[in-house]
Amino acid sequence: MQTYRARSSQIWGWTAVGTGAVIAVWHVIAAGLGNAQGGLGVGAGMIALGLAAFLRPHVAVTEDRVEIHNITQVATVPFSRLEGLDTRWSLEVRGDDGRKAGAFAAPAPGAAQSRRIEKQVARESESGVPPLTGRAGDATGTPSGDASAMIRTRWDAWRAAHPSGDPADDGPSVVRRIDPVGLGLAVGGLAAAAWGLLL
């Protein structure tokens, strides 16, 4: 199984976890354990939300399917039902019945990075290098482009191993299920932060 998580997500996630831990420890030292519910709540909330929103979401590819792990749900698409990929807003997988699933862990580049990519493409096309086709989100070096390339590599290998394709089942192409750990971290983080701020 290959997984992809944007480097920026790891930076933001570990920053939130570290900041939350510092806030909690600092507040316990400054106010004492009996009066530290504010700092402990805010710190625990930051840690839980950093884990839920940035460190847990990822795109996983196995030999026969794509799994998109978002904050509170997991979407699974077998390669036999995968029809295409899009990178307009983030990596989005599209099933053969029109159902879609977006990946929080693989966003498309912002406006500034898109302009840099367009300038680089213009320079390369002037020098005779074949230009990038598609969106800026398809470019390697971007979260959506890197995750898309990982999926395409495994998808191409699957199609080569199954030239006639597998028979499609009657169910939906994109199967979603609740991620109880992600949901618990998100709800627990919000509750801890509210407890720390309001009590």
Q: What are the pLDDT digits (tens) for 88-130? A: 888 999 999 999 999 998 887 766 655 665 666 566 566 665 5
Residue 19 is predicted with a pLDDT of 98
**Which percentage of the chain shows pLDDT scores above 70?**
83
| Cα torsion angle, 97, 98, 101, 106, sign | positive
Tens of pLDDT, residue by residue over 39-57, are: 999 999 999 999 999 999 9
Per-residue confidence band for 163, with pLDDT thresholds at 50, 70 and 90: confident
Closest by Cα among 55, 71, 44, 51 to 194: 44
Residue 162: pLDDT above 90?
A: no
Tokens found for residue 171: 């169910």
Residue 3: pLDDT above 60?
A: yes
Helix (H) or strand (E) holding 84: strand 82-86
Q: What is the CA radius of gyration of the chain?
A: 21
Residue 164: pLDDT above 60?
A: yes
Residue 126 is predicted with a pLDDT of 65
What is the residue-wise DSSP string for 140-170?
Answer: TTSHHHHHHHHHHHHHHHHHHH-TT-PPPPS
pTM summary value:
0.83
Once rounded to an integer, what is the mean pLDDT over residues 4-16? 95
Residue 119 is predicted with a pLDDT of 63
